[in-house]
Chain A
Amino acid sequence: MKIKVAIVTSLNSLRRNPMRALLTTLGIVIGIASVITMMEIGQGSSEAIKKVISGMGANSIIIFPESSMSFGVRYGAGGVKTLTPDDCKAIIKECPSVRNAAPLVYARGQVVYGSKNWSPSSIMGSNPGFLDVRDWENMSEGECFTDRDVMNANRVCVIGRTVAKELFENECPVDKEIRILNVPFKVVGVLSPKGANMMGMDQDDIIIAPWTTVKYRVSGSGQNLINQAATTSAAASTVNSTSSIYPNTAVKFYPDQSTVQIANYMMYTRFANISQIFAAAKSSEEVDSAIREITQLLRQRHHLKDGAPNDFTIRNLNEILNTLTKTTKLVTNLLLCIAMVSLLVGGVGIMNIMLVCVSERTREIGIRMAVGARQRDILRQFLTEAVILCLAGGIIGIIIGHGGSMILAGILGWPMSASPEAITLAFAVSAGVGIAFGYYPAWKASKLDPIEALRYE
């Protein structure tokens, strides 16, 4: 018996009792509709999370100096600053999976413009590469400061949208002078708005200045004063690299020493350390290999012996992303389980009605067998009928589910994304339910004895 004939026959017999068919398939409709809604909302949420995270800097990797131990004294995280701008440079140069990296230093305090003041949540020192790392190159107004500004520790800065609003309201901030912790800075640009990050922190409440300026002119410390002297003197001469201004080797105030002199006189080494390095991998797939390369490079640069613990920590947003995605997945899967239970109940409903159908139509089965239908023909016919019922339920369920998630998205503003996989899955599941629960009644029908079936009243 051709499958086409089986389908036509099944449709004919279903058409005889449309109300019953509809009620039978209701369980499947509800089950599939909930599966579709769950999956679309779930997928929408995880996509929304991904978007927020990639907004924080796609494929970001953050390197912190690690709490380290020297002679049994443990310092807290960042207590000993082991990261240097040269580390950052080396990362850019030698790690193939890294797209860009930028050094970071932080300051905290009040910013004043005219009679207004504001305390931004972050005052950062970095270099122009930072904006590339964070995918934040678009400026609303003005320009970013340059590498030369970084080298010269110029007092220039770019400000975030929130800072601009608080200090300048409707004025144009570019070329205005603000005072950050009492140090005058010229605003050269306003960053494009980025909104809140996933922690709910306003990412536009930010000031970014050359890290050299922030480190040596703003966040004051004894060491910085020496540096500032070095800066001014170095800035006068031609320099082309920050590491020659802020070397992590001894500054040559004196002529080169002989080895004997080195042995006799200990030199104080200035350490141009930074609080963080912010790096970006070339793609999210390369984040792991970037982390591996950075670890290897930094261990080598910091002369760590094999087995010695890292004196730095590497974190990436992917971890957070993974945690969040896992959580949404978990919730979605939980809801999916509930939807599956409803599918199961729907399947049992189908089985029940199909069994009723088989006994109602025993005579018909007998007649068909009498004219030559084989067992497998009868099996196929009833199986087709169950699958058609389930698929019809599935299609209605897909429409209702999709409509439902669109309504939720429209009214409650929940994120949703149409998912072709969910629809394919729903199709497969409803066909599967049809086969699984239609098989027993169909098998029972096919095992009927023709003469007994003909005698059935």
Chain B
Amino acid sequence: MSNTLIDLKDIYKTYHMGDIDVPVLKGISMSIKQGEFVALMGSSGSGKSTLMNILGCLDRPSSGKYYLDGEEISSLSNDGRAEIRNLKLGFVFQSFNLLPRVSAFENIIMPLAYARCHVSTKEALAKGIQLLNQFGLTERSRHEPSRLSGGQQQRVAIARSLVCDPQILFADEPTGNLDSKTGIEVLDLFKRLNREKGITILMVTHDIEVAMHAQRIIHIKDGLIDGTYAGAEKK
């Protein structure tokens, strides 16, 4: 389990607001091995979400190369990246991004509708029910996101990111809205996924306690990697 899954080479991201250029990422190079559990830390506005969007194939870097599983991603077509998002990546957004006016259950199984490989309705239902159970949402399966608490929405978002059995899970502050007990439960789940299924996890957090659960902590400051530390979790 030492082969490189993610390899970033000199990634720049600059937003243009009218005439003003806003440089956010200023040359990030790093690599993440398959099966690693990495935490990304940094102060607010340091560019963590921006980096996560690029890693999650949602955004393209202004320059630099991004190899995922040996494949150069930034040159792929929109549909090619959509396929990778569907098949290989799970994404938990900082702001959940659940479909409004759609039940929790349907939110969870929604990505299966776009799965390239055939998923029967029965399989989809079974998968959804299993995830509901796993996240203690069985009672709330018919609730729309607006009728769920922040923590419940968080869990729905995580369940949704796992429905397609991703290879990598990107989680932008997955514990931000949870009380410490549920937070620990989520982290335990992540660790179990990481250990048992070999899912590579990259997690953004502000909480050093949370970050310590990871194997490696990457610190970002002003769009540059500031330092890398070993976490409490051992390989």
Contacts and interface: CB of A to CB of B under 8 A. Distances in A.
Contacts of A454: 58, 93, 97
Given A372-B85, A451-B59, A1 B114 contact: yes
Nearest to A377: B114
A16 B102 CA distance: 10
A16 B111 contact: no
B37 interface: no
Interface stretch (A81-89, A175-183, A360-368): A360-368
A374 B82 CA distance: 6
A350 interface: no
Interface centre among A372, A376, A454 (most CB of B within 10 A): A372
Interface in A347-370: 363-364, 366-370
A373 B97 contact: no
B19 interface: no
A12 interface: yes
B115 A366 contact: no
Contacts of A375: 78-79, 82
B19 to A, nearest CB: 20
B101 A1 contact: no
Contact of B86 (A16, A363, A371): A371
Nearest to B50: A451
Interface in B137-166: 160, 164
Interface centre among A2, A375, A450, A454 (most CB of B within 10 A): A450
A99 to B, nearest CB: 64
Task: Say which size band chain B's interface belongs to.
Answer: 20 to 34
A2 B120 CA distance: 10
A366 B78 CA distance: 13
B83 interface: yes
A5 B113 contact: yes
Contacts of B87: 372
Contacts of A450: 58, 82
A451 B54 CA distance: 10
Contact of A451 (B53, B110, B113, B114): B53
A374 B83 contact: yes
A371 B83 contact: no
A419 interface: no
Interface in B74-103: 78-79, 82-83, 85-87, 91, 93, 97-102
Nearest to B78: A375
B59 A16 contact: no
Nearest to A6: B113
Given A371-B110, A372-B115, A366 B82 contact: no
B58 A372 contact: no
A374 B86 CA distance: 9
Nearest to B110: A371
Interface string B111-126: 1011100000000000
A9 interface: yes
Contacts of A369: 82, 85
B160 A371 contact: yes
A371 B91 CA distance: 8
A372 to B, nearest CB: 2
A9 B107 CA distance: 12
Nearest to A376: B79
A2 B118 CA distance: 9
Contacts of B113: 1-2, 5, 9, 373, 377
Contacts of B85: 369-372
A454 B98 CA distance: 11
A1 B87 CA distance: 14
B99 A370 contact: no
Nearest to A364: B99
A367 B98 contact: yes
Interface centre among B93, B97, B115, B164 (most CB of A within 10 A): B97
Given A371-B86, A451-B59, A366 B97 contact: yes
Contacts of B114: 1, 368, 371-374, 377
13 contacts: A1-B114, A12-B102, A364-B100, A367-B97, A367-B99, A368-B110, A368-B114, A370-B56, A372-B86, A372-B87, A374-B78, A377-B114, A454-B58
The 9 closest A-B pairs by CB, nearest first: A372-B86, A371-B111, A374-B82, A372-B114, A374-B79, A451-B59, A5-B113, A373-B114, A372-B85
